[in-house]
Structure 1
């Protein structure tokens, strides 16, 4: 059964109205037909089965059965230095599939800005489309919140007040991620954040600033992982070992 994304504000009673882009996707990409049943999700845990009505270029969905919102479990926040090329797009896709609740793209000293983008809004919109596509494919009813690109200092200042913040560290004497997970396992942790640096890692000054702000350095083992690999390793480990769904 095809899956369609419609934001909650466009659900009204027993009807849901897709955006023009989603209507085009339903008709011309999925090639769904009038009277066909589809699955809807709103990105906040709610799903429904709906009947598709296509007439004279308009698309409307009649909700047949509504599922109550599912529990998300542990909130995992990925604070990720923006990666080069299409690696950031790929990471957004995979992080969505793995169930992160928020992705905070950050600008660090070793992040190379590309082109002109008014406040990063174009990147943010593209990443949101990628997340929607990933959610449709993997079956999750949840979408991550994707922040606009922001300075590392601002992101950390906001993150440390909401729970533990781990940072992947290559230098110094960090604890293993497994040991840190064991430390938090007995506690009722509802949210945990992980900071991953860019290609070439964070600078020593950036790492020192994170530690001074209260972030906890962790190691992912003896191998030096690519930034996107490190992010997915950390997300998977945290989700597997700390989720209580």
Structure 2
């Protein structure tokens, strides 16, 4: 199994089948899709189980509420050499033989692709000027968190995640993906950018981060303090972290 795709699923009956099919799991028996239902009250569970009837590589699981708990459950169950994360209202792209050969033959610990937001391409390959400089990459990621600091659109080595016991912090409600990513990149040491669109992010009018919620201030502050703690030993990222806070 070369790739595990982990999908947290909560009340996503309108999009979950599309998300599953976008992984290519029906065309490639070296891909597994772990869909973790965390408290859905609509037809999400029924639709996932219908998809898995004819494909043993579609795995249904359940977790406590919260996206971090769902992703952690998926990590625990994963068997692939690589892990990638997919939100239930988004789609993966270009998981073809070219990407498979790359993942099977490279030594880097993290692979980052370009992605689409609606119809706009976010070309991280072109944006990243010092692709061979590990510290420069982390500084650029911190300075541009809205572009770089997502957990999706990236491929992670499963053996490193399991060896270092890297999991999502389920005490964080916002920026939990940024915090996970920072801990991972500080351990992986080498990063590869590819000039392919690998992810399609769907813009939603109902997104929680687009509506005002005073509790968000407190929750973001919690995440900032945790990321500061993660970076505490790395003085070379201090200035970039300050920009991260402002962003």
TM-score by length of 1: 0.27
Which one has the largest radius of gyration? Answer: 1
Going by fraction, where is helix more abundant, 1 or 2? 2
- TM-score, structure 2 normalization: 0.27
Greater per-residue strand proportion: 1
